[in-house]
Chains A and B, each alone.
Chain A
């Protein structure tokens, strides 16, 4: 679709070069560790070496003898201020620092405050902590057994390790279909715990001014406004009320959901600054980051499909165990403890579905951040897209064909899913057709048959996912009661330049560019003249932040609506300047002209100047608008991914030879940025599919606590991604856009896993757990007698 605006205006559809790039390319970004303040002290954290046990004693005396070490904060110190516990975003509780028990390895045990980062680290090494270890509960299934020790004894009346039970759908009706179905297939699968591993770790600089009673916190947060409110709720009793708290989220070196929750380190730094009256900085090192926070997934799923003999899907049934670690500290909307897992029916039309999730406590660190995922969509899509392949195998159909025969047809939108969603729009066959054409599907099947005859292992994996994102409509979506709207404030200056502020916070998504393009699209001001700001709670309008692909569906929409309000005012001014009535005006991006007399015109810049200098009688001066956008529905992007893998029979190594991703995210704001989002998402899908897993041994030891063991893809393993798109606009979003940041993270793992299973299907293999490491594949090859 050709852009509506000129290259000079650079509205939607232009691949504008990013406005934020020059500072990042010249070393002038402002990330958290780049901030310093006069008199700033350093916090470093003593962490537990054991997963579960009693603290018998903490001896800080040797640490305090080290030059530069000023204080050691423990749970007992925080208890004096009632700051030793904090609420999580899911209304659970979590220790800031323990007073008597540690619940996971790498848990924060004490904070050392010193005059330099080296002295603080020396202090950490010198704090002596005596533990009495206890046997941790690491297996979520065992955690639910009758004789399992109750971990959360801090919760009054708690008699087991179950956190909650959630379900969706009609169980009885679903069971009835399973009882009578021609074909039932079943797979058990685990989407293991992984880590966001953003290249920048977490950190903050807390600056409490004791004279003013004012706190400024510079911190790596994706949701600065919500965090300010949480801080006011948590620390109101020590005098921090919301107007005296300013949260500034600077440039963020990758977030991916890991920088949504509040971690103990932030709170310890803030407490230390308040107690000492000086700025205190805390920067996690990589091993702390990989061992203590920013964990995602860990869903054990038992899935079944009921179908007729031809493979027409009739019902889906999933039973899930969710390992949350020691606390339910995920960041999901309040009414959705299992996130949006009920998107699990995916792209397929069926009569009934029933899904249930039980969440349990274990002695792992708190998990469940929505890692580049709109709250458990990754788990849901992996489950459905894997088991659809099992069904195809069972009824003897090509997996692409079976999908096509089960797609929700394009004339069925808006489509009501059995688990309660109203899908806004879709054309799944179009994405499938394009993906098959791009990769040459039929030729690949012929090649596979030839290779299989020669004993070579080649697989083709298909995934046709449907995402749900853009949380969300206020009737259903809130976090701690705060509705999940988002906001924009646009102000046009007299010379026709603008500043636009938003309640979200970019972490690399390019908001400074795409939001400017949205304003340009609606107002006709060149995008280069629109300055975008986010992240400072003192200046930006209130919003819930950037995660779950919600920025374009919510704040992007707010920007469009605010710009339209300004355009409405500009039309009145234009009518005044041209001495005609508003009805007699035509609008071309950037210009009002008189109908039938196009040479009689004024520019949007003329209108802006007049808003301050030459107003119609009675009109309020100025040219600005604020919009809080409450979306009427979520958006439902989709796509088809096809992957080709080759498997080495000698080593079990899987190589992704080709990967075609066809995405449909509705109308596209900036094609270059959308493609970049897909590339990055695919790579963060490749990692968990083949390499990444945050594993623990039975004593609770983290087995992937550095980049030596937690294997994120490098440039060598990552293939040359091939991307394409179809465009099915959202009917309810002001720009017809849907959001795209997470589609690829969601869609890539099952495409890769399906390709591996496809390569092994003739050997009777129907499932392989991710990550599909060489040793896992080689075991299968040996078992089937085909290992070389």
Chain B
């Protein structure tokens, strides 16, 4: 099998790796880079547990080859919180009880982060539409919607 020399920047750190053509991006992230916050919940791009940001765009990393990410900037859940603590969206999830088992949560956070980046004041319908590719079996989504609204309000306070 052909191998490829790739470089990806994950949460600001550049990594070089030699990968098989067929290696999925999610396995590069989880197994090779040991960033296990990104999860795998299906094989068919439906559940969104593996969502990461590739050059800012929410992307299901179970349906992208690692070699396709060569040269890309990737953000995972581990990169959200910084020196100032958790992001408003992470805080919103805790404040509004937007997570239970936590398995879908990293994907939801990455999708929500990208949404707020492009639309700082989304309506309920826009939030629901944005997360419709991320399945959750625990929360019933209501509190996830509220968590995104909480973050939008917090982030808008500085305006």
Q: With A and B bound together, what is the CA distance between A340 and B49 in angstroms?
A: 35
Pairwise interchain contact B137-A25, C-beta atoms closer than 8 A:
no
Contact A508 B102 (CB under 8 A): yes
Whether A27 touches B97, Cβ cut-off 8 Å, given contacts A199-B135, A706-B44, A715-B131, is no
Chain B hits for A25, CB < 8 A: 77, 81, 86, 90, 93-94, 99, 102, 105, 109
A463 vs B94: C-alpha distance when bound (angstroms): 32
Give the contacting residue for A199; candidates B41, B86, B144; CB below 8 A.
B41
Interface centre among B44, B133, B141, B145 (most CB of A within 10 A): B141
Q: Quick one: CB contact mask for A236-263 with B, threshold 8 Å, 1 for yes?
A: 0000000000000001111110000000
Mark contacts of A655-685 with chain B using CB atoms, 8 A cut-off: 1 yes-contact digit, 0 otherwise.
0000000000000000011011001111110
Q: How far is the CB of A507 from chain B (nearest CB, A)?
A: 6
Residues of A within 8 A of B140 (CB): 679-683, 718, 721
Q: Which residues, 24 to 77 on B, are CB-close (under 8 Å) to A?
A: 27, 30, 35-44, 46-47, 49, 76-77
Give the residue among B36, B86, B143 with the most A Cβ atoms within 10 A: B36
Is A285 engaged at the interface, CB distance under 8 Å to the other chain? yes
Contact partners of B138 in chain A: CB under 8 A: 254, 508, 676, 680
- Does B117 make an interface contact (CB < 8 A)? no
When the two chains form the complex, which single residue of A22, A286, A680, A712 contacts B139, counting CB atoms closer than 8 Å? A680
Shortest CB distance B138–A (Å) = 5
Contact B137–A715 (Cβ < 8 Å)? no
Chain A residues near B40 (CB-CB < 8 A): 33
Question: Contact: A683 with B141, CB < 8 Å?
Answer: yes
With a cutoff of 8 Å between Cβ atoms, the chain A residues found around residue B47 in the complex are: 199, 286, 707
CA of A580 to CA of B90 in the docked complex: distance in angstroms? 51
Query: Within the assembled complex, what's the spacing in Å between the Cα atoms of A33 and B30?
Result: 9
Distance in Å: Cβ of A681 to nearest Cβ of chain B: 8
Give bound CA distance, A714 to B140, whole Å: 9
Asked if A676 contacts B137 (CB within 8 A), the reply is no
* A residues 27-46 in Cβ contact with B at 8 Å: 27-29, 31, 33-34
Q: Does A716 contact B (CB under 8 A)?
A: yes
Q: Which residues on the B side are within 8 Å of A21 (C-beta)?
A: 93-94, 99, 102
Query: Does B151 have its Cβ within 8 Å of any Cβ on chain A?
Result: no
Instruction: Indicate if the CB atoms of B99 and A199 lie closer than 8 Å.
Output: no
Is there contact, CB below 8 Å, between A679 and B37?
no
| Interchain CB contact under 8 A, A673 and B97 | yes
- Within A132-156, the residues touching B (CB, 8 Å) are none
Does A197 sit at the interface, judged by CB under 8 A? yes
CA gap between A719 and B46 in the complex, in Å: 20
Across the interface, do A24 and B142 meet the contact criterion of CB distance under 8 Å?
A: no
Q: A26 near B37 (CB under 8 angstroms)? A: yes
Q: Does A118 have its Cβ within 8 Å of any Cβ on chain B?
A: yes
Chain B contacts for A679, CB-based, 8 A: 139-143
Given A508-B101, A510-B100, A286 and B86 contact (CB-CB distance below 8 Å): no
The number of chain A residues with a CB under 8 A from chain B is 56
- Report if A188 contacts B (CB, 8 A): no
List, in ascending order, chain B residues with CB within 8 A of A255's CB.
101
Chain B residues contacting A672 (CB-CB under 8 Å) are: 97
Nearest-Cβ distance from residue A663 to partner chain B, whole angstroms: 14
B38 lies within 8 A of A254 (CB): no
- CB of A509 to closest CB in B, whole Å: 7
Q: Is A404 interfacial (CB-CB < 8 Å)?
A: no
**Which of B37, B103, B145 is the one whose CB lies under 8 Å from A253?**
B103
Distance of A449 Cα from B80 Cα, bound (Å): 52
Q: Does A784 contact B (CB under 8 A)?
A: no
Known: A24-B102, A714-B132. A18 touches B86 (CB 8 A): no
A718 to B134, CA, bound (A): 13
> A683-B140, A707-B44 are contacts. A198–B77 as well, Cβ < 8 Å?
no
A708 interfacial contact with B, CB 8 Å: yes
CA distance A196 to B137 in the complex (A): 9
Residues of B within 8 A of A680 (CB): 100, 137-140
Known: A18-B94, A25-B90, A26-B90. A198 touches B137 (CB 8 A): yes
Cβ of B54 to closest chain A Cβ, rounded Å: 17
Q: Name the one of B35, B78, B100 contacting A676, with C-beta atoms under 8 angstroms.
A: B100
Residues of the B chain whose Cβ atoms lie less than 8 Å from the Cβ of A718: 140-142
User: What's the Cα separation between A254 and B76 when bound, in Å?
Assistant: 22
Interface of A is mostly: loop
Q: Which residues of A (499-541) have their CB < 8 Å from a CB of B?
A: 507-510
Cβ of B104 < 8 Å from any Cβ of A? yes
* CB proximity of A515 to chain B, nearest CB, Å: 15
Verify B41–A286 contact, CB threshold 8 A: yes
Chain A hits for B23, CB < 8 A: 118
Which B residue sits closest to A288, measured CB to CB? B43
Tell yes or no: A20 within 8 A of B by CB.
yes
Asked whether B143 lies within 8 Å of A118 as measured between CB atoms, the reply is no
In the complex where A21-B93, A254-B101, A672-B97 touch, is A26 in contact with B137 (Cβ < 8 A)? no
**Min CB gap A5→B, angstroms:** 20
Q: Which residues of B contact A410 (CB under 8 A)?
A: none
Residue of A nearest to B146 (CB): A720
A674 to chain B, nearest CB (A): 10
Could you tell me the distance between the alpha carbons of A474 and B141 in the complex, rounded to whole angstroms?
38
Contacts of A716 in B (CB 8 A): 128-129, 132
Distance to closest chain A CB from B127 (angstroms): 8
Using a CB-CB cutoff of 8 Å, which residues 249-286 of chain A contact chain B?
251-256, 285-286
User: With contacts A20-B102, A676-B97, A718-B141 known, is A26 near B86, CB below 8 A?
Assistant: yes
CA distance A255 to B95 in the complex (A): 24
Cβ-based interface call for A287 (8 A): yes
From the candidates A285, A676, A683, name the one contacting B43 in the complex (CB within 8 A).
Answer: A285
Given contacts A17-B94, A27-B76, contact A507 B139 (CB under 8 A): no
Q: Are A26 and B80 in contact (CB under 8 A)?
A: yes
Q: Is the CB of B101 within 8 A of A198?
A: yes
Residue ID in chain A nearest B103 by CB atoms: A253
Interface centre among B27, B30, B124, B140 (most CB of A within 10 A): B140
In Å, the complex CA distance between A774 and B87 comes to 41
The answer to whether the Cβ of B22 comes within 8 Å of any Cβ in the partner chain is yes
Instruction: State whether B42 touches A715 (Cβ < 8 A).
Output: no
Q: Are B20 and A118 in contact (CB under 8 A)?
A: yes
Question: Chain B 105-133, CB within 8 Å of chain A: the 1/0 string?
Answer: 11001000000000000001001110111
Tell me the minimal C-beta distance from A743 to chain B in angstroms: 13
In the complex where A253-B101, A508-B101, A706-B44 touch, is A26 in contact with B81 (Cβ < 8 A)? yes
Question: When the two chains form the complex, which single residue of B103, B134, B141, B145 contacts A254, counting CB atoms closer than 8 Å?
Answer: B103
Contacts of B102 in A (CB 8 A): 20-21, 23-25, 29, 251, 253, 508
Which residues of A are found within 8 Å of B142, using beta-carbon distances?
679, 718, 720-721
Find out whether the CB atom of A715 lies under 8 angstroms from the CB atom of B100. no
Let me know if B152 is at the binding interface, CB within 8 A. no
CB atoms of B46 and A707 under 8 A apart = yes
Interface membership of A405, Cβ < 8 A: no
Q: Is A302 an interface residue (CB 8 A)?
A: no
Could you tell me if A715 and B94 are in contact, using CB atoms closer than 8 angstroms? no
Is the Cβ of B139 less than 8 Å from the Cβ of A676? yes
What's the Cα separation between A17 and B97 when bound, in Å?
8
Is B10 at the interface (CB under 8 A from chain A)?
no
- 19 chain-A/chain-B pairs, Cβ below 8 angstroms: A17-B95, A23-B102, A24-B105, A27-B106, A28-B37, A28-B78, A29-B37, A29-B102, A31-B36, A199-B101, A200-B101, A253-B41, A256-B137, A680-B137, A683-B140, A707-B135, A708-B44, A714-B133, A718-B142
Q: Chain A residues in contact with chain B, CB under 8 A?
A: 17-18, 20-29, 31, 33-34, 117-118, 196-201, 251-256, 285-287, 507-510, 672-673, 675-676, 679-684, 706-708, 712, 714-716, 718, 720-721
Of all A-B residue pairs in the complex, the 7 with the closest CB atoms, nearest first, are A27-B37, A253-B103, A508-B101, A24-B102, A679-B140, A508-B100, A707-B46
Known interface pairs A508-B101, A672-B97, A679-B139; 9 further A-B residue pairs with C-beta atoms within 8 A, sorted by A's residue number: A18-B94, A199-B104, A285-B43, A508-B102, A706-B44, A707-B44, A715-B136, A716-B129, A720-B124
Q: Which residues of B contact A (CB under 8 A)?
A: 20, 22-23, 27, 30, 35-44, 46-47, 49, 76-78, 80-81, 86, 90, 93-95, 97, 99-106, 109, 124, 127-129, 131-145
